[in-house]
Structure 1
Amino acid sequence: MTEQGSVVAETIRAAGRERRGALVGYLPVGFPDLDTSVEAAIAMARAGADVIELGVPYSDPVMDGTVIQEATNVALAGGFRLRQLFDAVRRVREAVDAPVLVMTYWNPVLQYGVDRFAAELAEAGGAGLITPDITPDAAADWIEVSERYGLDRVFLAAPSSTDARLRLVAEATTGFVYTVSTMGITGERAELDAAARGLTARLREQGAELACVGIGISTAAQVASALEYADGAIVGTAFVRALREGGVPRLSEVVAEIAAGTRSPGDVGAAR
């Protein structure tokens, strides 16, 4: 399902009405340091990302590719603490209108306290969580708490998922379903896995209203291709690499270049 009150869902719907669809941009909090990561997230929104996804640095990021792992290691080595996440979310939301989702493995939430985490995220203006390593049938506490605090819960769907599993994900998710385009870790691919198109169709058959495709998208052309069948495209590795290699100015350039893929062909010529 997709709650009517979800700011994330409404942002994605608006992008679909105005353009091909939405761009969701990921960056880890605390890379290369806390202040720069906040500045980078703000710049990403201003350069064309519709939804911001802030990643919580974690010592065992099983889903993340090398570029993101290296960035999160830098953040952890720099002394990142989970309480800084809420400060980062607040600062980003004070600067831009783009909704901010937090991508986190479940253990940090458990260690912090599910209710406490949700309360502080909501107070900071966060929109909800993307939880790659917890499934709806194991997330009763999170589902209850998220409803109480009005937070979105974005679950993942993979090509290997059964129809019954996809139906469970579609029913439990709010905001959008995170559609995993390839079986494997995040990173760039020369071509998107064709399984993403079929998976998105299966999700819609099981009741998912909004689906965004992630893992492997790194060019405007790939964004445009994904938006032929999905409501949004999620980009992470390309943005983290741009920030690492050229700081916030280079990140802004790359976001603007990739965001061009959300516009219709007639509008691309007007790209900044």
Structure 2
Amino acid sequence: MSRIASAFASAREENRAAVIPYLTAGYPDPERYLQISREMLEQADLLEIGLPYSDPLGDGPTIQSSGDAALKKGIFTAQVIELVRELRQSTDKPLLLMTYINPVIAYGSQRFFANFAAAGLDGVILPDLPPDEDPELVKEARAAGLDTVFLLAPTSTDERIKTVTSYISGFVYTVSVTGVTGARDQLPDLGPLVERIRRYTDKPVAIGFGISGAETARQAARVADGVVVGSALIREIQAGRNPAALLAEIRAAARVE
């Protein structure tokens, strides 16, 4: 069983959804990033690492600003590989990279996947790649030993769900809204979407885009296997607060009653 599958299984045994924080690699600076990530991993089941990118079309202003700050500090692909390597030395929990496809291609896809896998990465989330548009690239990631994760949305048709899930080996990343990332006060009813996804795959389903705190985490945990939170944690960092405290609240709220 992979680290990713094991993490979801362990959370399920504890009657809760898996908790998946997102942090932009190297933000606010490499040293603080490593410190915050290690604190997050005490509460998290998996960690999503965002590769800073100049044109993050799926990210809202909070994550965009953290990516811009990281890029200005020189955090590019090579530096993120080293951050993954350092994190792996202090945890056995799953580490996933969220990256847009351009950095993968610019670096060289086979080298990209191989170098990240060697550093200790478990999987890649590719939000802007329709997997059926480049099956060979998906095969390259798998050949390097990385699980692949793709996104589905409330607008996804059954045909699209069937197609996309056939390329997923980690978990299904379900976005709560047809928009960009960002904390929200309420989530729409995602139960019907999750039910449709489960007709086509037995992989865990995680909900992201909109988890802001305990209440939205509770809503997501009622229907899904995992909750992804990013913007709300980065806002805590920007405000000079410890995001681990918010993540602890989210973990407690993710318990299935």
TM range (shorter): over 0.9
* Matching of residues 91-110 of structure 1 within 5 Å: 91-110=86-105
**Which residue does the alignment assign to 1:201?**
195
The corresponding residue for 2:107 is 112
1:175-234 Cα deviation digits (max 9, x unpaired): 10000111100101111022x222111100122431100000111222122111100000
- Most deviating of 203-212 and 94-103: 203-212
**65-74 or 90-99: bigger deviation:** 90-99
Paired residue for 2:41, among 45, 68, 73? Answer: 45
* 1:260 aligned onto 2:252: yes
Greater alpha carbon shift after TM alignment, 183-192 vs 135-144? 135-144
- 1:223 corresponds to which letter in structure 2? A
1:211 paired residue number: 205
Matched, 1:221 2:219: no
Partner of 1:33: 29
In structure 2, list runs of 5 or more residues that go unmatched: none
2:169–2:203 Cα contact (<8 Å) kept: no
Inter-CA distance 209–80: structure 2 relative to 1 (3 Å threshold): closer
Shift of 1:97: 2.2
Question: Hey, which bits of structure 1, 4+ residues long, moved more than 4 A?
Answer: none
1:204 maps to a residue whose letter is R
* Residue 264 (structure 1) shift: 4.9
- Contact 1:103 / 1:130 at 8 angstroms: preserved in 2? yes
Distance, in Å, in 1 between the alignment partners of 2:22 and 2:163 is 25
Unaligned runs of 5+ in 1: 266-272
* Structure-1-length-normalised TM-score: 0.91
Would the aligned equivalents of 2:194 and 2:224 in 1 still touch at CA under 8 Å?
A: yes
Bigger share in helix: 1
Aligned to 2:16: 20
The equivalent of 1:269 in structure 2 is none
Equivalent residue for 2:81? Answer: 86
Q: CA deviation at 1:141?
A: 2.3
User: Which of 131, 149, 160 is 2:155 aligned to?
Assistant: 160
Aligned match of 1:239 in 233, 239, 247? 233
Q: Secondary structure at the match of 2:22?
A: strand
Distance 1:52 1:25 in 2: 6
Q: Distance in 2 between matches of 1:92 and 1:19?
A: 27
Alpha-carbon distance, 1:42 to partner: 1.1
For the residue of structure 2 that corresponds to 1:240, the secondary structure is: helix
Amino acid at match of 1:165: R
- Conservation of the 8 A alpha-carbon contact between 2:213 and 2:246: no
SS of the residue corresponding to residue 206 of structure 2 reads strand
CA distance in 1, matches of 2:174, 2:41: 22
Q: Is the Cα–Cα contact under 8 Å of residues 101 and 127 in structure 1 kept in the other structure?
A: yes
- What amino acid does structure 2 have at the position aligned with 1:180? V
Distance, in Å, in 1 between the alignment partners of 2:251 and 2:165 is 27
TM-aligned CA distance change 1:260 to 1:38, over 3 Å: same
Shift of 1:262: 2.3
Equivalents in 2 of 1:81, 1:104: separation in Å?
A: 11
Aligned length: 257
Stretch of structure 1 that moved more, 170-179 or 203-212: 203-212
The CA deviation at 1:257 is: 1.8
* Matches of 2:93 and 2:204, distance apart in 1: 17
Contact (CA 8 Å) 1:171, 1:208: kept in 2 or not? no
Q: Is the 8 A contact 1:169 1:177 kept in 2?
A: no
Paired residues of 1:102 and 1:128 also in contact (CA < 8 A): yes
- Describe the SS at the equivalent of 2:240: helix
